[in-house]
Structure 1
Amino acid sequence: MSRRELDAAGITDPALRAAYLRCRVLNATHGRTYFLATRLLAPHQRPAVHALYGFARWVDDLVDEPGPDATPEVVSGCVDRAERLLAAGLARDGADGEPVVRALVHTVDRYDIDPALFSAFLRSMRMDLDVRAYATRADLQTYTYGSARVIGLQMLPVLGAVTDLATAAPYAELLGEAFQLTNFLRDVAEDLDRGRVYLPADELAASGVDRERLLWCRGRGAADAAVRGAVADQVARTWAVTREAARGIPMLRPESRPCIATALALYSGILGRIEAMDHDVFAGRATVGTGRKLRVAAPAFARAWWLRRNARSVHEGQAA
């Protein structure tokens, strides 16, 4: 299947094909919900999405999974190297030694993606090296612009739009942010273990919650009433972003809509799961089960197949 995708995208160079396949493996291994949604895209779109995901995952792992002996200085040096490789690739001055970067550079060129979006992403990744909390939502949004909103903007040229891209761009940003905020809520315990809190401190304080209270709940494996109330507030705020992001789906090209609608439905399922757990994010990781994923994805697969089949019929009719 992956080779068919590369053929559909017109990618024939063996080294470049291997680079894209590496990105696809990263997506399939680490972003299973996201990967499932990409299966709804046309085959020629999928390699570019894998490249965008692959680069983001590669850099994220440099920061979050550096190894037991890596110092902050070493990790910072790794991020600096990633930035240099990307700059060299975009300048046609190397980067062939890193497959993820090679695939990304090809995707950036093919879809005319603004390189500044990747600079913003790398800035946010560097924030993870020394920023452990965010006082306000405005502070958090400085981080999520680079970690999430730019991901939506990177994706938009690949997905295409029936409006001009500038009109669809704010909704693409919100979509990235909705996914990121949902991940923050799902991963409160895991992030605490890394010394980070991605929920605005002033909003937590309104419910009587601070880092120490979160750590106490983490230690006992259960959220108390105050923490559940704070999480409920954060879930409500994330639902608001999710609903606003959904308004942009009709702006996308028809063949891209099933993918994004399915991704949004699956991430919404995580929010629903947190609600079903009475907002106790320390009782277990809120996930969407395989059965639920398949029930959500199956109608979208049928619609995506029909859209691609109809598009081929129209093209063949015009050619005749």
Structure 2
Amino acid sequence: MSRRELDAAGVTDPDLRAAYTASKAINASHGRTYFLATRLLPIEDRPAVHALYGFARIADDIVDGRLPKAQQALELMALERDMWTGTHPVLKALADTVERYRIDPQLFADFLSSMRMDLHVKEYATFDDLAAYIYGSAGVIGLQMLPVLGTAGPRAEAEPYAAALGEAFQLTNFLRDVGEDLDRGRVYLPADELAVFGVDRNRLRWARRTGRPDQNVRRALAHLVARTYAIYRRAEPGIALLRPEARPCVSTAAELYRGILDEIVAADYAVLDRRAVVPTGQRILVALPRLGVAAGQNARAWARRLTSRPRLPRRASIGIPGRDSSAVNSHRRISLGE
């Protein structure tokens, strides 16, 4: 985490600065597309996004790791227990972010509920069955981000679009990672949608082993890709509901993630034995034009802040379980149960 980002965010406590820096390292290492889009946010909001990503990554690594299921369940329980009072750097950054932006703590409980589903649910019969998992694993991510991104009008108007964009990102991940998920014993593509094309888990496994999806598998994947494109279109109007400084970031993330679908189509759906990725050069070409837009918007926003009345600190008490949040402001250290 750069000093400029932390200074702009008003993070002065050395422990919190280190915590946010650790979260940024996780984002930079594992979330290349997400991290690139984050560079388009106002500088003072970037630490919060890294904290949110870092927490989601820790939970995801628990359920995708090679530990026995019983140990994974224990680690998820410990993560939920320590979420607001733990000493892990990412948890410190998360607790600070949740208070700073007044994010609903229930969203994180819903997220962990979906992570627990990964320990015992191996497939989903229909999209309706998958809906609860997608909401907790992806829809809530969009809702967590909204207070950080800010909206041009009432937040409630933007919430359905934010959840839809999270859903589109998650379905894109399912299509990109279908082979890797098979290796973990999971199929996130609804069984009834696959069955229409004569595809089941065994047929997907054969395509994974041989690297040669047959026509049935290609048609099934094409159908699910088309459905995911439609969700991106449904989510797109929500970008205009965000505050102007946040729009370049979200539009870039949406275009880059949608680009993964383009790569799947370009590969003729032969992606079960490899991961479809947007080439680095293309990611840069998408992001570069928006960098200038973001810089101009951020400069104008900064000028408005300098000439307007001082704003109240963003952090406020929201009743995080297990924490005394009273009288906290953006320059005071928060006790996290060390």
Place the TM-score, normalised by the shorter chain, in its bin: over 0.9
Identity of aligned residues (%): 58
**TM norm structure 1:** 0.94
The correspondence for 1:76, drawn from 70, 73, 76, is 73
State the match for 2:15 in structure 1: 15
State the match for 1:55 in structure 2: 55
Q: Does 1:206 pair with 2:196?
A: yes
Relative contact order (C-alpha < 8 Å, sep 6+): which is higher?
Answer: 2
Q: What does 1:19-98 align with in structure 2 at a 5 Å threshold?
A: 19-65=19-65, 67=66, 70-86=67-83, 89=84, 94-95=85-86, 97-98=87-88
1:311: Cα distance to partner? 2.2
Q: Is the 8 A contact 1:223 1:283 kept in 2?
A: no
State the match for 2:129 in structure 1: 139
The correspondence for 2:220, drawn from 200, 210, 230, is 230
1:166: Cα distance to partner? 0.6
The DSSP-based 3-state class of the residue aligned with 2:118 is helix
Q: Deviations over 1:128-169 (max 9, x none)?
A: 011110000011111001000000000000000011011100
What letter is aligned with 1:114?
D
C-alpha distance in 1 between matches for 2:210 and 2:110: 38
Extract unaligned runs of 5+ from structure 1.
Answer: none
C-alpha distance in 2 between matches for 1:72 and 1:315: 50
State the match for 1:123 in structure 2: 113
Q: Deviations over 1:52-81 (max 9, x none)?
A: 00000011101112x4xx211111000000
C-alpha distance in 2 between matches for 1:120 and 1:7: 32
The DSSP-based 3-state class of the residue aligned with 2:203 is helix
What letter is aligned with 1:54?
G
What letter is aligned with 1:59?
A
1:317: Cα distance to partner? 5.1
1:106: Cα distance to partner? 0.6
What letter is aligned with 1:84?
R
Q: What does 1:103-252 align with in structure 2 at a 5 Å threshold?
A: 103-252=93-242
1:219: Cα distance to partner? 1.0
Q: Does 1:304 pair with 2:294?
A: yes
State the match for 2:5 in structure 1: 5
C-alpha distance in 2 between matches for 1:273 and 1:179: 15
1:284: Cα distance to partner? 2.7
Mean CA deviation greater in 307-316 or 114-123: 307-316
Q: Is the 8 A contact 2:168 2:231 kept in 1?
A: yes
The DSSP-based 3-state class of the residue aligned with 1:129 is coil
1:110: Cα distance to partner? 0.8
The DSSP-based 3-state class of the residue aligned with 1:12 is coil
C-alpha distance in 1 between matches for 2:272 and 2:73: 31
Extract unaligned runs of 5+ from structure 2.
Answer: 310-338
Q: Which has the higher helix share?
A: 1
State the match for 1:253 in structure 2: 243
C-alpha distance in 2 between matches for 1:317 and 1:159: 22
1:279: Cα distance to partner? 1.7
C-alpha distance in 2 between matches for 1:279 and 1:138: 25
The DSSP-based 3-state class of the residue aligned with 2:119 is helix
C-alpha distance in 1 between matches for 2:143 and 2:264: 28
1:316: Cα distance to partner? 4.3
CA-atom RMSD in angstroms:
1.2
What letter is aligned with 1:46?
R
1:312: Cα distance to partner? 2.9
What letter is aligned with 1:28?
A
Q: Is the 8 A contact 2:179 2:273 kept in 1?
A: no
Q: Is the 8 A contact 2:209 2:273 kept in 1?
A: no
1:318: Cα distance to partner? 5.2
Q: Deviations over 1:250-286 (max 9, x none)?
A: 0000000000000000011101111111122225321
C-alpha distance in 2 between matches for 1:313 and 1:21: 27
What letter is aligned with 2:223?
D
- From the superposition, tell whether residues 212 and 102 of structure 1 become closer, same or farther in structure 2 (CA, over 3 Å): same
- From the superposition, tell whether residues 229 and 157 of structure 1 become closer, same or farther in structure 2 (CA, over 3 Å): same
Question: How many pairs does the alignment contain?
Answer: 309
